[in-house]
Structure 1
Amino acid sequence: MEFGLSEDQKLLQESIGRTLEKVSPLERVRKAADEHADYAGDVWQALAELGVAGMLIAEEHGGMGMGLLDAALASEMLGRHVAPAPFVATAVMAPIAIGGAGSKAQQAAWLPKLASGKAIAGVAVSERAAGAREGAGIAASGGRLTGTALFVVDAAGADIFVVADKTGGLHLVAGDAKGLTRIALTSIDLTRPLGELRFDNVEAEPLNTGNAGAALKRMVDAGRVMLAADTLGAGWAMIEKAVAYAGERKQFGRVIGSFQAVKHMCAEMAAELEPCRSLIWYAAHAFDTMPDEASLMAAHAKALTSETGRFVARTATEVHGGMGFTDLVGLHYWFKRIGLSRQLLGSPEQVRHEAAVIQGWAAD
């Protein structure tokens, strides 16, 4: 059996890529990073007009009703162009949570807004997905939340938050809820701002119409696949820049790309990264059609791509020599994006342990 992209999927990815080339060149990325903007509104609006915001939202709510593989193709393009726009939480994780565990009223209230790109959703599940941290965690009681959530994805400018409590329950919290304190967190990646949320007896709507535990698991799996796809795109961008530089930079009267050592570095990057593509595609396919394999494959995709992405980021920078560390070249945007994706929703070490637990090789 041949597993590949359909013509529609190829056209979708090409369309997103062309749009990002226009609206999110490196100059636009640099401006958003320098201004510490919540996100680039013009970039997000352009993506929303393509339907990216509503890819996973059912057509009845104004979305496109597509699959996770389609979303992974979009995420790859976002990583390739280091787009300063919300996506993982707003367009993937939050719609999965609301669609899987929200009531009809909750779905009608938020899914159309998310599908149109008019609302931004943050997701606070780090303590459940990446391990507990001292002083962090959310307690739920009587429809109210208390505690602290760290590393909230798409937190900047969010109109609504999907929050996981200590027991795995899911809740919707308005961005302007009384008692909610929002704090911007500084990370290495300025293209995707993170946040900290502090809850002081904050009113919340439970997402419990469906199976909240299953919805939490699925949203984390989907988020991990998206981060892997983002790293894939960022890694390939760095490889292409390294190859282009090696074909222009001269040393000892020859372009450095003619030296065997540099050829090997570029070839090794491509050989290591390309197998991640098929694993990401399979993980996305399993999410949509083989739920029993979804968590395992998402863990594999996240772990392998995170490790490979770090190797590619380092090697591509080395090919550039001293120029690789300058702001002028801009490699650091991809380098840092890969670094943040490596840690969000579980480090490689953690997700490998989860994979071992799923397969019965380790204790939970």
Structure 2
Amino acid sequence: MDFGLSQEQQMLAESVARLLRELCPLNHVRNVVESESAVSAQAEAALAELGLNGLVVPEAYGGLGLGMLDAAVVATALGEAVAPVPFAGRKVLAPLALIEAGSDAQKANWLPRIASGGVCFGVGLQGLVTRRDGSGVSCADGRLTGLALFVLDCEEADHFLVADDNGQLYIILAQSEGVEQIALRTIDATRSICGLRLSSVPAEALRDDGGKAAQRIIAAGRILLAADSLGAADAMIAQAVAYAGQREQFGRVIGSFQAVKHMCAEMAARNEPCRSLVWYAAHAFDAVPEEAPLMACHAKSHLGETGRIIARTATEVHGGMGFTDLLGLHYWFKRIGFDRQILGGPETVREEAALLQGWIARAA
């Protein structure tokens, strides 16, 4: 039995990686960020031409009909290129929410438009994981009121998918009266994040399933963030190894020193097992759904810790140069830091994993 990626998935990964190498090199990423945007228009357009807007949208609605493992493969390539492209929320979580909890009419209305790029979603689910003072969303008479923080992929979004405090999912129009977007800056300038202050905003509710769909979408988001960290860690290891083979000290390349060899080997040894963990979590989302929440927690928490160690070690291999903007290593460092915290840091997610396994009691 083959436990690796299929030939089609390998081709998808290579196609996306090759496209990003051509259209989204580091200088382009730097230019996008310095323009105070978090979206590369040329990379976004090229990915749309590959059909990635409809990556997980069923073929019946004009999409590719692919699964979470395919999405994780794309997320890994995006993380490796530190690409400023809205992906997780806009191209995966929003359509998955409609697939999971939308009525037939809602699917027919929204999914073809998502696949064609005719509608762009931002996604706000962070309040179901961790909540800051003053945040939270409630619904009364079909209208939402409250504050949703850390909404993903908000730049250029014309609609938002948000959850209330009970886990019920809603769609709102970005330009509706009563919607105020609050600019939020995180350490990762390649992601567009905002807050939404809602004042009696009319909302289209998805099916009320007691929050089950929202929890499944959160699991999907955690898998994608873990995959993004995996790709970012791959890139940092490759850059550290390349630098160690070029930089000279005392007449020798530093890669010939045993201490540097050990640092590079340790990074590779830590990161490689993460690949199968992410792949299995993505596979479980589609094929073994009862395992998906727990596996998503494992992948998210483990990649959060491993990614941090690799980011730190790769920077150390570069010495003082690792902290400069000249090399741009900090883009990957910050990307991993963002992935670590959004939708739950390692401590939060491990506690949830313990609850799922019955190791600790749920608070009353």
Length-normalised TM-score, structure 1: 0.98
Letter in 1 for 2:96: I
Match of 2:62 in 1: 62
> 1:159: which partner in 2?
158
Could you report, residue by residue, the CA deviation over 1:318-344 in whole angstroms, capped at 9, with x for unpaired residues? 000000011110000000000000001
Give, in angstroms, the shift of residue 6 of structure 1.
0.9
The one of 347, 350, 354 equivalent to 1:349 is 347
Specify the alignment match of 1:237 in structure 2. Answer: 235
User: C-alpha deviations, 1:193-237, integer Å up to 9, x for none?
Assistant: 2100000010100011x7362211111010000000000000000
Tell me, in whole angstroms, the C-alpha distance in 2 between the residues paired with 1:25 and 1:174. 34
Answer yes or no: is 1:265 the counterpart of 2:253.
no
Give a deviation string over 1:60-86, Cα, whole Å, max 9, x none: 111100110000000000000011010
**Secondary structure, in 3 states, of the residue corresponding to 1:291?**
coil
Identify which of 285, 288, 293 aligns with 1:287.
285
3-state secondary structure, aligned to 2:82 = coil
2:34 aligned residue = 34
Cross-structure match for 1:71: 71
Per-residue CA shift, 1:278-324, capped at 9, x if unaligned?
00000011100111100000000000001000000000000000000
Specify the alignment match of 2:19 in structure 1. 19
2:135 aligned residue: 136
Instruction: Give the conservation status (yes or no) of the 8 Å contact 2:166–2:211.
Output: no
Distance (Å, rounded) in 2 between the aligned partners of 1:160 and 1:212: 23
* Alpha-carbon distance between aligned partners in 1 of 2:195 and 2:173, rounded to the nearest angstrom: 15
- Number of equivalent positions: 362
In the alignment, the residues of structure 2 paired with residue 348 and residue 35 of structure 1 have an alpha-carbon distance, to the nearest angstrom, of 32
Q: Is the 8 A contact 1:122 1:162 kept in 2?
A: yes
Q: Which amino acid aligns with 1:128?
A: L
Deviations 1:105-161 (A, max 9, x none): 3222221222123432111110102x1211000011110000000000111111111
Mapping of 1:287-326 within 5 angstroms? 287-326=285-324
2-side partners of 1:32 and 1:215: how far apart?
Answer: 34
Q: Secondary structure at the match of 1:183?
A: strand
Contact preservation (8 Å) 2:101, 2:206: yes
Is 1:201 the equivalent of 2:200?
yes
Distance of 1:304 and 1:30 partners within structure 2:
29
Instruction: Report the equivalent of 2:121.
Output: 121
Matched letter for residue 162 of structure 1: L
Separation in 1 of the partners of 2:38 and 2:77? 20
Q: CA deviation at 1:96?
A: 0.8
Q: Distance in 2 between matches of 1:159 and 1:60?
A: 24
- For the pair 1:175 / 2:174, whether they are aligned, the reply is yes
> Are the equivalent residues in 2 in contact too, given 1:287–1:294 (CA < 8 A)?
yes
**Corresponding residue for residue 94 of structure 1:** 94
Q: Is the 8 A contact 1:100 1:212 kept in 2?
A: no
When the two chains are superposed, the root-mean-square deviation of aligned CA atoms in Å is 1.0
% identical equivalent positions: 56
**Is the 2:168–2:209 contact (alpha carbons within 8 Å) kept by the matching residues of 1?**
no
TM-score normalized with structure 2 length: 0.98
User: Is 1:125–1:164's contact at 8 Å kept on the other side of the alignment?
Assistant: yes
Instruction: Answer yes or no: is the 8 Å Cα contact 1:161–1:175 preserved in 2.
Output: yes
Q: In structure 2, how many angstroms separate the alpha carbons of the residues matched to 1:106 and 1:28?
A: 38
Q: Report the Cα offset of residue 256 of structure 1.
A: 0.2
Contact 1:303 1:352 in 2 (8 A): yes
Give the superposition deviation at 1:53.
Answer: 1.7
- 1:84 and 1:212, CA in 2 relative to 1: closer, same or farther beyond 3 A? farther
**Aligned-partner residue type, residue 144 of structure 2:** L
Q: Deviations over 1:166-188 (max 9, x none)?
A: 11111000111110001120111
User: What are the ranges of 5 or more consecutive residues in structure 1 without an aligned counterpart?
Assistant: none
**Number of the residue aligned with 2:221:** 223
1:146 counterpart SS class: strand
Question: Quick check: 1:184–1:193 contact (8 Å CA) kept in 2?
Answer: no
Q: Verify the 8 A CA contact 1:189 1:337 in the aligned structure 2.
A: yes
Aligned mates of 2:15, 2:91 — CA distance in 1: 18
Give, as a single letter, the amino acid of the residue that structure 1 aligns with 2:54: G
- Letter in structure 2 aligned against 1:222: A
Q: Superposed, which structure 2 residues align to 1:99-114 within 5 Å?
A: 99-114=99-114
Task: Give the letter for the 2:123 counterpart.
Answer: V
Q: Work out the CA distance in 2 between the residues paired with 1:145 and 1:8.
A: 42
d(CA) in 1 for partners of 2:111, 2:52? 13
5+ residue gaps, structure 2: none
Shift of residue 352, structure 1, vs aligned partner: 0.4
